Amino acid sequence: MAGETVLVVGGAGYIGSHTCLDLANKGFKPIVFDNFSNGHREFVKWGPAEEGDIRDRARLDEVLAKHKPAAILHFAALIEVGESVKDPVAFYENNVIGTLTLLAAAQAAGVKAFVFSSTCATYGLPQSVPLDETHRQVPINPYGRTKYIVEQALADYDRYTGFRSVVLRYFNAAGADFEGRIGEWHQPETHAIPLAIDAALGRREGFKVFGTDYETRDGTCVRDYIHVLDLADAHVRAVEHLLRGGESIALNLGTGTGTTVKELLSTIERVSERPFPVEYAGRREGDSHTLVANNDKAREILGWTPQYDLSQIIRSAWNWHAKSNQH
């Protein structure tokens, strides 16, 4: 499989760029397709870039004809839950209509392998923890619903047209390339680790914790933080699975280990050696108290095992934000 071309849609973004790095390290040829609305041209380092939008069928056809990829990795989505509530139309236009346009172009071009970036938000409020892939899917916001709609479409495409795909449901992506070449860079930033690191760096006044009275070991929410390079590795393994003729499947990507907000903040203080102000506030509507993955299926199907623990996640993120961040 080495030498195969892979079209990485949204490859200039956070997870997409780290996956391009992993693809290149494993002998694939990544081609970035991005409209650069949220991605960064500076992150295109391991192959050429083609500028375009997933809603533009003519541009997709042109790029697919030019590069003839064996597989497509699809990361191009609007992801901010709060924004999905404020502007659901934009999320349906990009995440649903854009993805269906991309799928039509992929089928027409004869692409045989499609890996979709999904989310644990498709599960909604957890009925049991850790969550496995059989957990009911009842998303509670437009972001989660748009991802779930695409998952249903992919299941139908497989069932009725033989178009095979791997759906990867992320838990909390975190960390950065250990060499500091790329990392997390969202505008605006809404994720806990970069916000807390910015507080430790003095770029923010402090960090706000929402909810201290949950039924968890210290009262704060529990999340499953997974290193972005572990996510990237899983995506490349998913491509290899499909190119070997593997069947369509949906898989959780998490470590299986939960971390409370207080534990996260203490790890950041320990790694950075910089205490920072923390404000405690009431619960935030829609927050689940615990989101932790059961990742047995990904281990079994892909032979995938997360390599990095929370301290390594924080050290790589600290290195990126402290030294290399473009802000």
Dist CA 44 CA 30 (whole Å): 10
Q: Is 225 a catalytic residue?
A: no
Q: Do 73 and 9 touch, CB atoms closer than 8 A? A: yes
How many other C-beta atoms lie within 10 A of the C-beta of residue 187? 8
CA distance 220 to 222: 7
Let me know how long the chain is. 327
Q: CB of 253 within 8 A of CB of 168?
A: yes
Bridge partner list, 227: 174
CB 74 within 8 Å of CB 115: yes
Concatenate the DSSP letters of all residues of 128-145 into one string: SSSB-TTS-----SHHHH
d(CA 73, CA 8): 5
Which phi and psi (to 5°) does residue 16 adopt?
-60, -40
Q: Of 123, 143, 148, 308, which is the active-site residue?
A: 143
Q: Tokens 């499609």 identify what position?
A: 114
Instruction: Specify the residue for token string 């709060």.
Output: 82
- Cα distances (Å, whole numbers) of residue 87 to 82, 146, 196, 278: 9, 13, 27, 30
User: What kind and span of H or E run contains 197?
Assistant: helix 192-200
Write out the catalytic residue numbers.
143
